[in-house]
Amino acid sequence: MLQNSSDYIRLSLYIKDAPQIREYARRRRRHAAKAIPDNSLPFTDAVSLIKAVEVGKPNSTWELHVELKLGKSAPPIRGSIFLPRSMSKTNKFLVFAKFYGKGEKAQEALEAGAHTVGGDELITEIANGTFKFEGINKCLATPDIFPAVSKIARILGPKHLMPMAKRGTVTNDIANTIKDLTGKQEIKSDKSGVVHLGIGKLAWPITDLRDNIKAVLQEIDKLGKSHYTKAQDRDIIKNVALSSTRGSGIYLLDYKILIERTKEKLTL
């Protein structure tokens, strides 16, 4: 029961009149609308529309763009994944390993399928600018030769070929590392906190595309929550868009079904 006029005044502070309620509802709707981009479609509709635009181009590539909720100073998400249906090109490995002494690591690399294997003489050739990197897209080094390899970091770095221990490319387990890196897809967010990834070919069945997207989203979700403790209780993924190589992106309305690892399935 209200005892005096001051009680009426305090109560009036918590009561919104009809115009205030309507304005509050409008603000909530606008806020919710911002969370869903205008060009959003369910997965199957997005696929159908992009295929219609790209008709006659079966070799075009599906691209996935995943916008993350990362802080401004947060380090990038980084990892790798074996896709259910691989689309990786054939890797050509450059391996720094010593041939003198037993030379078993160098021999191991050759037997595992490395394109070029060498030691100090290869480092000198690269430093002099006479080595041709044609088609080489992966580089490994054994720990004993790595200090010498570091001297040509200014050459290997811009080519994204500099071996690094934290990435597992400075190792004594050369054969297994080559095997692991063959067919693996790299996941890395850019400065804007977006992961861009080739995910399949337009000619593939929609089920293969869906399985690859599902695997990537679940891996990104896992990587985000393992690296950022604040992300444990919230979604690390903000938006997901699908596009062809030359086409515009379409945001996926139902991407969360793929992240949650439930029995719920996308309608195909």
What tens digit of pLDDT does each residue of 20-51 get? 656 655 665 554 444 445 678 999 999 999 98
Cα angle value 205/236/219 (rounded, 5°): 45
What does pTM read for this prediction?
0.61
Place of tokens 């993350």: 68
Q: Do domains 38-88+184-259 and 93-181 have the same CATH topology?
A: no
CATH of region 38-88+184-259: 3.30.190.20
> Does position 58 have pLDDT exceeding 90, yes or no?
no
8 A C-beta contact, residue 206 and residue 47: yes
Percentage of the residues of the chain whose pLDDT score is greater than 70: 77
Across 258-264, average pLDDT: 58
> Does position 57 have pLDDT exceeding 50, yes or no?
yes
8 A C-beta contact, residue 266 and residue 258: yes
| pLDDT computed for residue 54 by the predictor | 81
| pLDDT computed for residue 27 by the predictor | 62
8 A C-beta contact, residue 195 and residue 68: yes
Say if strands 78-82 and 184-188 run parallel, antiparallel, or are unpaired.
antiparallel
| pLDDT computed for residue 209 by the predictor | 94
Amino acid at the residue 27 = R
Residue ranges per structural domain of the chain: 38-88+184-259, 93-181
Percentage of the residues of the chain whose pLDDT score is greater than 90: 38
| Selected residue with higher pLDDT from 80 and 215 | 215
**What is the Cα–Cα distance from 39 to 93, expressed in whole angstroms?**
41
| pLDDT computed for residue 262 by the predictor | 44
Helices (H), 36-183: 43-53, 104-111, 120-128, 146-149, 153-156, 174-181
- pLDDT (tens digit per residue) in 115-168: 999 999 999 999 999 999 988 989 999 999 999 999 999 999 999 999 999 889
Residue-averaged pLDDT of the chain:
81
> Does position 13 have pLDDT exceeding 60, yes or no?
no
CATH of region 93-181: 3.40.50.790
- pLDDT (tens digit per residue) in 155-202: 999 999 999 998 899 999 998 888 888 777 889 898 888 999 999 999
The DSSP output letter for 144 is T
